[in-house]
Amino acid sequence: VTRTRAWLIGIILLSVVLRVGVAFYLGDTVPPAKDEQSYSLLAGRLATGYGYSFERPWYPFGTPGGSPTSHWSFLYTAFVAAVYAVAGPHPLAARLVQAVAVGVLMPWVTWRLAKRLTVEDRRLKIVPLIAAGLSAVYAYFVLYGAMVQTEAFFICALLWSLERGLAVASFDEAPPGRLAPSSRSAQDALWTGVSFGVSLGVATLLRQSILPWVAVMFLYLAIRRLKIEDWKIGRSWRGLAPLVVAGVVMVGCIVPFTVRNYLVYDNFLLLNSNAGYAMYAAQHPMHGTSFREYEAAPLPEELAGQGLNEAEWDDALMERGIGFVLAEPGRYLMLSLSRVRDYFEFWPTADSSTLFNVGRVASIGVMLPFMVYGMWMAITEGRKRAACGGEEEGRSGAIFHFPSSFFLLLFMAFYSLLHIFTWAMSRYRLPVDAVALVFAALAIAEIGWKVQGSRLKVEG
The per-residue pLDDT for 228 is: 56
Average pLDDT over residues 169-195: 67
The per-residue pLDDT for 424 is: 92
Q: For the chain, what percent of residues have pLDDT higher than 70?
A: 87
Average pLDDT over residues 111-133: 84
Give the integer Cα–Cα distance in Å for 211 and 213: 5
Is it the case that residue 83 has pLDDT exceeding 60?
A: yes
Closest CA to 287 of 334, 255, 240, 250: 334
Partners of 53 in the beta sheet? 68
Q: Would you put residue 27 in left (φ > 0), alpha (ψ -120 to 50) or beta?
A: left
Do 73 and 207 contact (CB within 8 A), yes or no?
yes
Any residues with CB less than 8 A from the CB of 447 and at least 6 apart, and which? Answer: none
Give the integer Cα–Cα distance in Å for 181 and 170: 10
Mean pLDDT of the chain: 89
Closest CA to 408 of 377, 443, 368, 438: 438
Q: What is the DSSP letter of 67?
A: S
CA angle 445, 435, 31 (to 5 degrees): 120
Is it the case that residue 184 has pLDDT exceeding 80?
A: no
Query: How does pLDDT run across 368-417, given as a tens digit for each residue?
Result: 999 999 999 888 876 555 555 444 444 444 467 788 899 999 999 999 99
Confidence (pTM):
0.91
Is it the case that residue 165 has pLDDT exceeding 50?
A: yes
The per-residue pLDDT for 182 is: 44
Is it the case that residue 187 has pLDDT exceeding 90?
A: no
Average pLDDT over residues 68-94: 98
| Torsion angle, alpha carbons of 205, 210, 213, 215, to 10 | 30
